[in-house]
Chains A and B, each alone.
Chain A
Amino acid sequence: MATPPTETRRDLDSAATSHRGDRIFNRGITVAAFTALLVLAGIAIFLGVAAVEAITTQGWSFLFTTEWKVDQGDEPVAGIWGMLYGSVLLSVIGLVIAVPVSLLLSVFIVFLAPRRLGRVMTNVIDLMAAIPSIILGLWAFYLLSPPAEQWQFLLNKYLGWIPIFQNDSGNFNGTPFIAGFVLAIMMIPIITSVSREVLGRTPPELINAAEALGCSLWTMLRHVALPYGRGGIVGGIMLGLGRALGETIAIFFVLKLVYDINWYKIIESEGGSVATLIVATFGEVSGPYELNLLLAAGFFLFVGTLAVNVIANLIVQKTGRSER
C-alpha cells in the first residue's frame, strides 16, 4: 500500500480577501461598525458613573421617591419615580391615540385608496416625521392647547365619573392628555409607515384566497392581513414608543411639570417626564451635585428606552417565527 503524499493545507479564507481594495474596504466597514458600539458604550458608561454616584448618595429611593429638593438645606433629597412613571403615562396616552389612527391610515393607503392618492398620503405622512419637535412644541403651545382645554373640559363634564377624567383644580392647561396628544402626532408617521409597509406585503395569494371565500375587507384584515403583519406592526409601535419615551422639548412646552406623582388623572394640570425634568432643571442647576443627579436620571431613561427596544425585538422575532 502506497503512503499518501503529505497534505499541505492552505487557508482559503484569507485568499478570498487578498484583493487589496477589498481588504481596505472590509477593515473600514469593521471600524465603522465598532465605532457605533463604542459610542453607545461611551454614553452608557458616562451616564452609568453618574447613576452609581446618585444611588450611593441617595440610595435606591432615588428611583422610588418623587421629591426634588436639592438646593435647600443640608440634606439634598432627589427621586425620579414620578418622572419615570410620568414618561410611561404620557407614552401610553400617545399610543392609545396613535395606534388606531395609524392602523386605519395604513389600511386605507394599502387597501382602499386609489394608487395616486395613496402615494401622496404616504409622502405627506413620511414628511410629518421630519417636523422638528420644537416646531411641534410651539404648534401645540399656541394652537393645540386652547381647543384641547375645551375638549378636556367637556370630557370632564360628561365623563368625569370615570376616574381618569377627574379634574379637581378646574385648570385644564399643561395636562398629560395634551402632552400625550403631541406624542401621538410624533408617533403616527412612524407607526403608519411601518404598518403600511408590512400590510402591503401581505401575500396576494392569501388575499385572493380570502376574497374567493367571500370575505369582506374587515374579515380579510382581521383573519389574514393583521395576523400576517402582526410582528412588524408591533415592531413599528415599539419604534414609535421609543421616540415617545425620549421626547423632550415638545413636551416641555405643553406639560406642567410637577414633582409629584400623577397616577391617572390625565386631564389634571400636573405631570412628569424624565426628559422634561432634565431640560427644565438643567438651565438652573444649583451645582455639580444636582447636575450629576440629572445625568443619573438620564441613565435610567436610557435604560428604559433600551429595554423597550429589546422587548420590541423579542416580540418581533417571536411573532415572526410563529407565522412561518
Chain B
Amino acid sequence: MSTAEYESTAEYEGDVTVLEEQFMEQKSVGPIELESQDVSVWFGQRKVLEGVNIAFPKNTVTALIGPSGCGKSTYIRTLNRLHELIPGAALAGSVLYEGKDIYDTDIDPVHIRLQIGMVFQKPNPFPSMTIRGNVLSGLKLSGLKRDQHDDIVEETLTSAGLWNEVKDRLDSAAGELSGGQQQRLVIARALAVQPHVLLMDEPCSALDPTSTLKIEETIRELSKDITIVIVTHNMQQAVRVSDYTAFFLAAENEPGYVIEQGPTTDIFGSPRDQRTLDYVNGRFG
C-alpha cells in the first residue's frame, strides 16, 4: 500500500501525522514480517476496532497494551484469521504477511494459521493426549508431515523451557502438569509446526509469578528466531519482554484504536500522548 493511499484512508484520526510518523519510523527498523493496514473490525453491527496500523518487524517482540475491552484480543485474532470463525465477524483493511494480504481469496487460512501460531490466555493442552502427543498434535491435526518426531519433541520442549521438567514422563497425561507447565507445553505445541510468527493473548494472566518469569524468559529466547506479538495487561511484563509497544484505547461504546506506538522504551519513558502516560503509570485502566 502506498503512502498516498494510507493518508487517504486514515484521515478520520485526529493525529494522523503523528501516527504516520511513528508508523514510518517503525518501518525503517528492519524487514517487516507482519503488518496490519487500516484494520477495522465488526461483530455484527458493532464496530470494535478502527483503522489499526501496526508493523511487526521480523524477530522482535511487540506488546499490545490497553485497558480491557479496547479490542486487543480481537485485533490479535485478525492477524491469523481466527477472528473470522466467530459468527457475524467482519473486517476492513488488510493484513500483510511477508508482503501478501492474508485475506486474499486465494489464501488458505489453514496455511496462515500454521505460519502464524497462537497461544491463548488459558492453557489449553488437549487433555486426552499425552505430553508428547500434545507437542505433535499440530502436525497430526493439520496433516503436516515432518520426520524425526523425537527430535521435534525435544527441540520444541527445550525452546519452550519445559524439556528438563518433563523429559522422563513424556507419555503421561498433559492434564497432570501445573498451569505454568501446561502453558509452556502449549507454546511447544505451537512451535512444532515451525511458525514464523507467534501470537500470544495474555499468556501469563492465569499463571503464578514464577511461571510468568519462565514464560517471559522463553519469549525472549524465542524472539531470536520468530516474531512475537503479545497482548498483556501487565505493564512490567511489557517492559521486560517487548521491543515495541502499541497502546490501544476505546471510549465507551466506541471502537478501539491505537493511541500511540513505538519502541517500548519510548512508550514507557517518554510517551507523546497524555493518555499513554497516564495508562503506563497506572492512573487508569
A209, B82: Cβ atoms under 8 Å? Answer: no
Identify which of residues 86-132 in chain B touch chain A, using a CB-to-CB cut-off of 8 Å: 87, 109-111, 113-114, 117-118, 120, 122, 124-128
A213, B127: Cβ atoms under 8 Å? Answer: no
B175, A213: Cβ atoms under 8 Å? Answer: no
Closest to B138 in A: A213
Q: Which of B80, B125, B141, B189 contacts A215 (CB 8 A)?
A: B141
Tell me if B68 is interfacial: C-beta within 8 Å of chain A: no
Q: Which of A115, A209, A216 contacts B110 (CB 8 A)?
A: A216
Separation in Å of the A111 CB from the closest CB of chain B? 11
A213, B87: Cβ atoms under 8 Å? Answer: no
Tell me if A224 is interfacial: C-beta within 8 Å of chain B: yes
B140, A223: Cβ atoms under 8 Å? Answer: yes
For the complex, give the distance between the alpha carbons of A243 and B113 in Å.
45
Q: Which of B82, B127, B189 contacts A208 (CB 8 A)?
A: B82
Interface residues on B, range: 20 to 34
Tell me if A206 is interfacial: C-beta within 8 Å of chain B: yes
A227, B128: Cβ atoms under 8 Å? Answer: yes
A214, B128: Cβ atoms under 8 Å? Answer: no
Residues of B within 8 A of A224 (CB): 126
Q: Which of B87, B128, B141, B143 contacts A210 (CB 8 A)?
A: B141
A213, B137: Cβ atoms under 8 Å? Answer: yes
Residues of B within 8 A of A208 (CB): 82, 118, 120, 124
B189, A213: Cβ atoms under 8 Å? Answer: yes
What number of A residues sit within 8 Å (CB to CB) of B?
23
Tell me if A71 is interfacial: C-beta within 8 Å of chain B: no
Tell me if B142 is interfacial: C-beta within 8 Å of chain A: yes
Residues of A within 8 A of B120 (CB): 205, 208-209, 212
Residues of B within 8 A of A214 (CB): 109-111, 113-114, 138, 141-142, 193
A213, B114: Cβ atoms under 8 Å? Answer: yes
For the complex, give the distance between the alpha carbons of A211 and B120 in Å.
12
Closest to A213 in B: B138
Residues of A within 8 A of B113 (CB): 211-214
B128, A213: Cβ atoms under 8 Å? Answer: no
B137, A223: Cβ atoms under 8 Å? Answer: yes
For the complex, give the distance between the alpha carbons of A220 and B137 in Å.
11
Residues of A within 8 A of B124 (CB): 203, 205-206, 208-209
Tell me if B251 is interfacial: C-beta within 8 Å of chain A: no
B128, A212: Cβ atoms under 8 Å? Answer: no
Tell me if A169 is interfacial: C-beta within 8 Å of chain B: no
A-B contact pairs, 17 of them (CB 8 A): A114-B87, A203-B124, A205-B120, A206-B124, A209-B120, A209-B126, A211-B113, A213-B113, A213-B137, A213-B141, A214-B109, A214-B111, A214-B141, A214-B193, A219-B142, A228-B127, A228-B128
Interface residues of B (CB under 8 A from A): 80, 82, 85, 87, 109-111, 113-114, 117-118, 120, 122, 124-128, 137-138, 140-143, 175, 186, 189-190, 193
Interface residues of A (CB under 8 A from B): 114-115, 203, 205-206, 208-216, 219-220, 223-224, 227-228, 322-324
